[in-house]
Amino acid sequence: MRILFFKFLKSVLFPIRNATPPLSEHRKENILPLDSETLLVLKFSGWGSLLNLHPLLSSLRASYPKARLILVTFEKNRELSRHLRSCDKIVFLRDSEKESFPRKMFRILSLAWSIRRMGPQILLDMQLKSRKHLSLFLGLFSGATVRIGFAKGNDIGRLTLLTHPVYFNDHQPLAFVIEQIQLLLGLPKILTLPPSFTEPGAIRPETTHHNSFKSLNSQTTLIINPNASQLSYERRWPITHFSGAIQKLLSRNPDLQIILVGSAEEKDYVSELKGQAQSGNDRLTNLAGTLSFDGLIYLLKRAGCFLTNDSGPLHLALMMGIPTVALFGPTRPDQVSIGFHPSRSIFLYESIYCSPCVHEIIRPPCGGDNQCMKALRIESVVRAVETLLFRKRTRIHPEQEWNPDNSQKPVFADTYPHGLFRDPPFEENRSHSQAFTFKNHSDFKSPRRLS
């Protein structure tokens, strides 16, 4: 058994060693043009993060139409992936917590061999906070000689094994983070929706809801997503708060129709909310577990306002320009991609000491008792919804409404990839313990553009 194990390690590590020239060798030579290359993009996250990748994929396709563009993502993103028409091929990895460890490893190794047979020359590792070890392994095993991805200052593995590590600044919006890759590759900015989101007849809703969707009045329709993924259930506004807000909205606005949405896994949770909030009111409908991705898009297009926690549907609504009230606590509003942030949207956020905590620590300090979300007042949410839905001039609690200030964007942000890690600009013969002197700006090697 031990001999077989070492043979396996040799079969895995030997091709990686041969396919990966030393890091210094990459930084001495220019990268070949992309037109004739195979580009592999790794993104193992929810479809909220995948949506924010669309501008990068679109600019890659527009700039290099002859390149073969392949996306690798999770199986749960299959419905969304159909709308990412920039990709020539999309490969899916099934991810299930119910699977045994040996079965998961078999799937990962099978995917690794499939990727290697594709022969990518350039790999974009777009993992930011989770699944970084998985993407790094697949990148190394792929045989790609150019591996671009994100790393933090203490992430020695990624700083060493990525040929072009880019600093991940988690205090910047996701749009600015991804923009660093576009700048490094010399790509233009393309901030557009996937074409199928706007093409007439492209989105076909479920036939069971088609007629009811047609009758919706956008001026009196509110869509509510009370859910958040298992990444952090602490992002959910308490169900009692949602119930109270729904009851207030229905009582104060007699023409209002409210529709609750969610996935099949969230159906029971949403049903519990409806049970608490309905009180015999037929103006509250639960569609959780009955809508496909296309059905959700079709429904959002007919909404006057969308109320949601920080989750995948939030990114979708912002990208579509839907008037949105977004509730934040364990995550900060300024970490959301603001490239598609419509001016009519309202972000509510109570800044407390331990926020943000998602991705920062394994276990949140509150132990699940999300005080940051509980601090958001029902009246603040109700007034925010009424402001967007009915254009009422109602005053929202100013301490809970987050107002972005984009005036501090760096001067060279549109032309220069500040995040690319470069060789330290100090004298080689000087001791690391001594303070080093920066060279003149002209002495820096300009970042290599893939063009």
Radius of gyration of the chain (CA): 24
Per-position DSSP letters for 395-422, written without gaps between them: PP-TTTEE---GGG--TTTTT--TTB--
3-state secondary structure of 164: strand
Task: Evaluate whether 29 touches 113 at the Cβ level (below 8 Å).
Answer: no
Domain pair 14-195+421-443 / 213-406, same fold = yes
User: Token digits for 118?
Assistant: 């594709």
Task: Evaluate whether 79 touches 313 at the Cβ level (below 8 Å).
Answer: no
Task: Evaluate whether 312 touches 300 at the Cβ level (below 8 Å).
Answer: no
Q: Which sequence spans correspond to the domains of the chain?
A: 14-195+421-443, 213-406
Tell me the longest C-alpha to C-alpha distance in the chain.
79
Scored b (16 or more CB within 10 A) or e, 199-229 reads eeeebebeeebeeebeebeeebbbbbbbbbb
- Architecture per CATH, domain 14-195+421-443, reads as 3-Layer(aba) Sandwich (3.40)
Per-residue pLDDT for the chain (451 aa), expressed as one digit of tens each?
445 444 554 455 444 444 444 444 444 334 555 666 899 999 998 787 888 888 899 999 988 888 999 999 999 888 888 888 889 999 999 877 777 888 889 999 999 999 999 999 999 999 988 889 999 999 999 999 999 999 987 888 899 999 999 999 887 878 888 888 988 888 887 766 676 666 555 566 665 565 566 667 777 899 999 999 877 888 999 999 999 999 999 999 988 999 999 999 999 999 999 999 876 678 899 999 999 888 899 899 889 999 999 998 998 888 888 899 999 999 888 777 655 455 678 899 988 888 888 878 878 888 888 999 999 999 999 999 998 888 765 555 555 887 765 434 444 445 666 677 766 554 444 444 333 333 333 333 444 444 4
CATH topology of domain 213-406: Rossmann fold (3.40.50)
Task: Evaluate whether 325 touches 345 at the Cβ level (below 8 Å).
Answer: yes
